[in-house]
Amino acid sequence: MDYFLITTVLVALAAGFGYINVRFLHLPNTIGLMLITIVFTLAVLALSYFDDTLLNAEIEIITQIDFKTVLLDIMLSFLLFAGALHTNFEQLKVQRWPVLAFATLGVLISTFLVGTAMFFILQLLGLEIAYIYCLLFGALISPTDPIAVLGILKQAGVPKRLETKIVGESLFNDGVGVVVFLTIYQIASIGAENVAVMDVVGLFAKEVLGGIAFGVFLGWITYRLLKSIDDYDIEVIITLATVMVGTAVAQKFHLSAPLAMVTAGLMVGMDTVRHSAMSKTTETYVDKFWELIDILLNTILFVLIGMEMLILTLEGNYIIAGLLAIPIILACRYASLIGPIKFFEKKLNFVPNTNLIMTWGGLRGGISIALALGLTQEMHRDLFLVITYIVVVFSILVQGLTVSKLVERLRVRNLLKD
């Protein structure tokens, strides 16, 4: 099966499932597409007892797609640039310090809390897993997924001040989370005794700080090019080239492409750049183009996530571990946010129950699954992939469906208190 045919099938499924969702279910696209795909896959599995033609076709599609490479090396840059382009830069600028703390300190604390808790839980289940591999799981599951968050928060009615924190954190912490994961992965692969502390610090600084600096440079170059002409067709193509060339260069020099794309997108999207470099017509075309890219890739991504269940090794202990991981991960996220929130809440006038909303609204998605797929068998890939999938499905379907109700309930309760 060639890549054009695979892409055609995925786009056709995304279009069909998207139509069903909009026409009948009326759920946020992220939730609806994933739910319909899971139901479709379960139906294919049931049908396979009588005729396995559809099942074999679906398995062939999944096995020929390198989900990790497709998401992390290709799709993620486009999705993050599109998300950053439409993020309120002025609000984010006001909230930059708590966002930075959530995306760095929060991810690191959560990584170690989740890793430690899962180490003991897995021991109780009779699964002898080395602590370093549990930390790897902590690293891949701790970052919230900007793709899932951006798609759902638009309809959740979250206060703008808080929405900026959650979206800003999600845009940056996936890049930080990937770097933390790769660092622990390297330690696990070659042994802690063979890794110097300064090497780890150097790798982290190069990926994170280098990625952000490169993103600033990309954003500036794009701004200068857009300002020097007035032709909306070419200007849209320039923004597309920014993402594609920027991603290729970042990967070549081992900089964080996700962080570079977020930074470049924020710069190009900020009001001062828009007003001075783009005409109203250009703004409209650039926004519509990237909204379309965002919607198209999102629909394909969540169809893929739903189909990934076909490659899971569903053993009893693995499923129990996944179910136990859900409250553990939520508790660890809540704990990891306490420090930054307490430090900044009085200075920046945080809305009530910020920690609770950020914990429940911090969704996991495709990035976690992609990183879990990148584990080796020695790192217990099958186990952690099942756990990750269960957490992601719960996150999208349960948390995603109820975050707006939680916000509304807390809003009413706070009004009654006043």
3-class SS string, 165-186: HHHHHHHHHHHHHHHHHHHHHH
Domain positions in the chain: 3-64, 67-417
Count CB neighbours of 400 within 10 A.
27
Q: pLDDT, tens digit, for every residue of 166-205? A: 888 888 887 888 889 988 998 888 776 666 677 777 877 8
Q: Which fold has domain 67-417?
A: Na+/H+ antiporter like fold (1.20.1530)
Question: Closest by alpha carbon to 356, among 410, 415, 278?
Answer: 410
Q: pLDDT, tens digit, for every residue of 61-88? A: 898 888 988 898 889 999 899 989 988 7
HSE-CB for 356 with a 13 A CA cutoff: 13
Q: Does pLDDT of 418 surpass 50?
A: no
Q: pLDDT, tens digit, for every residue of 296-345? A: 998 899 999 999 998 898 899 999 999 999 999 999 999 999 999 988 87
CA atoms of 355 and 110, how far apart (whole Å)? 14
Count CB neighbours of 23 within 10 A.
8
pLDDT at 182: 87
**Which two tokens mark 128?**
């002898």
CA atoms of 12 and 300, how far apart (whole Å)? 9
pTM: 0.90
Which residue's entry shows tokens 């696209």? Answer: 29
pLDDT at 147: 67
Residues 6+ apart with CB under 8 A from 330: 359, 360
